[in-house]
């Protein structure tokens, strides 16, 4: 019976989820700038409700980015500390993948274009298709770029998802054209979807030790360089 505790603080939502076998219990709150105070409480509450301790788990998982730089650092540091203390493996999961997985869970779309606002007039962009196991699979490397330069996906029947569509939706829709069927800008990263993806990764042996659980920013430059 697989037991995984997953967390995400990568954007405005803060969440933790406990997967035990195929059942998932989640704590979720939209709480900008309160992730640090909430996430440990959420984790502890889930464990207590299940009658478990950290050392009873098989692994920990977290949304490793992209997203808010501060938020991604919070989840990374929390998961590293917990994993070191309990000597548990860690499964990093892309926040874009989790956003796509959540849209499939809610509405069944199988071709998904996940977008987050990356600021500086750019988007974080991921193209996913749902496989036979009902889990999203990356079609091509995730990227960060201006919305008018995202690479259109192959074929028809794509669904946009993620807050990036709320900010850059018109530009993205124009770029994708008739291949786009619709978009849900309210779809956010949830730990329940991280946990599900992490279970498959763990079963396949794709995990890292705590010290290798690092953020994925997709870019190193986080502020504009002033012109001389």
All domains of the chain, ordered by start, with CATH?
Answer: 3-94+189-212 (3.30.420.40), 95-184 (3.30.420.40)
Q: What are the phi and psi torsion angles at 24 (to 5°)?
A: -125, 130
pLDDT tens readout for residues 54-112: 999 999 999 999 999 999 999 999 999 999 999 999 999 999 999 999 999 999 999 99
pLDDT tens readout for residues 157-174: 999 999 999 999 999 999
18: nearest Cα among 8, 27, 9: 27
């Amino acid at each position: 019976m697989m037991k995984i505790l997953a967390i995400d603080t990568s954007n405005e939502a803060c969440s933790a989820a406990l997967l035990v076998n195929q059942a998932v219990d989640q704590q979720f709150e939209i709480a900008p700038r309160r992730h640090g105070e909430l996430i440990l409480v959420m984790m502890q509450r889930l464990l207590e409700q299940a009658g478990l301790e950290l050392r009873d788990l098989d692994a920990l998982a977290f949304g490793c980015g992209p997203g808010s730089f501060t938020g991604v650092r919070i989840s990374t540091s929390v998961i590293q500390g917990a994993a070191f203390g309990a000597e548990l493996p860690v499964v990093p999961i892309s926040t874009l993948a989790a956003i796509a997985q959540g849209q499939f869970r809610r509405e069944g779309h199988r071709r998904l274009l996940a977008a987050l606002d990356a600021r500086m007039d750019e988007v974080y962009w991921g193209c996913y298709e749902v496989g036979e196991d009902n889990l999203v699979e990356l079609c091509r490397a995730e990227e960060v770029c201006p919305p008018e330069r995202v690479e259109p996906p192959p074929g028809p029947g794509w669904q946009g998802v993620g807050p990036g569509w709320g900010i850059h939706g018109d530009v993205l829709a124009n770029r994708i054209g008739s291949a786009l069927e619709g978009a849900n800008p309210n779809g956010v990263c949830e730990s329940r979807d991280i946990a599900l993806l992490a279970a498959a990764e763990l079963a396949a042996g794709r995990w890292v030790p705590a010290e290798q659980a690092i953020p994925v920013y997709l870019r190193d430059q986080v502020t504009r360089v002033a012109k001389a």
